[in-house]
Amino acid sequence: MSNVTRLLQDIKDNPVMYLEKLSITSLDSFLIGYLSTRSEMGLDREGSEIEGFQEWIQKREKTDVSQSWARILIFSCGSERNAFYSFFELFERFLKDDEGSKKDEKGRSLNYFGNDLIISVRPLYELLGSIKKRPGMYLGNNSITKLNMLLRGYSLAQREVGVLPTEQEREFEGFQSWIEEKYGINSGQSWSKIILFYSVDEHEALEKFFELFEEYLNRNKNLEVDENSG
């Protein structure tokens, strides 16, 4: 069993441990962050199973529309939640299907993402800066939930191979408690859920995140200056 297959089984058994909510979009964004990071670390071979799933779903649904498997499942299942549960059943069938579980001998191009989403392993703040400039390239659409899921996948992929958190990643961990303090909330909700609650929609929440994150970084810089001057 590959790392990816094992991870998917863990998510199926305990989804709230990994995902913001039980939705196929959350799972998709999480896997984009996870698999892209593994690929950049030279561990992409184990992702070949899920890569082939894109093409398998397109054949199963008899569609050549350029959409990710997640969006195809939403359309066929009728809702994010139904698509989420359906995915695991379909993925199990896919693994048992000789046509879907191996690469074509002719060297077909397998593409997990379906819509050319990709990230690179780079310093966290550089990644966030790139997402801010071109959210559609990384998230598909402007969504703070997708951002959170992508970052969770990004972090998990690095933890699995023993990559220690960088100074930026340790600083980012403090953003959660800062958001809770700023909004006066101590409910165990993630920073993305808190910001979304105080926003009109996912799009506005994503824009607000970057504003708040900049405020958080400036606050930390000012604290550091005060400590050094003291």
The confidence score (pLDDT) of residue 67 equals: 85
The confidence score (pLDDT) of residue 40 equals: 83
The confidence score (pLDDT) of residue 230 equals: 59
User: What are the structure tokens assigned to 195, written together?
Assistant: 């910001």
Domain boundaries, the chain: 3-164, 165-230
The confidence score (pLDDT) of residue 121 equals: 63
The confidence score (pLDDT) of residue 41 equals: 83
The confidence score (pLDDT) of residue 179 equals: 97
Spans of the chain below 70 pLDDT: 1, 44-49, 98-121, 229-230
Phi, psi of 189 (to 5 degrees): -75, 145
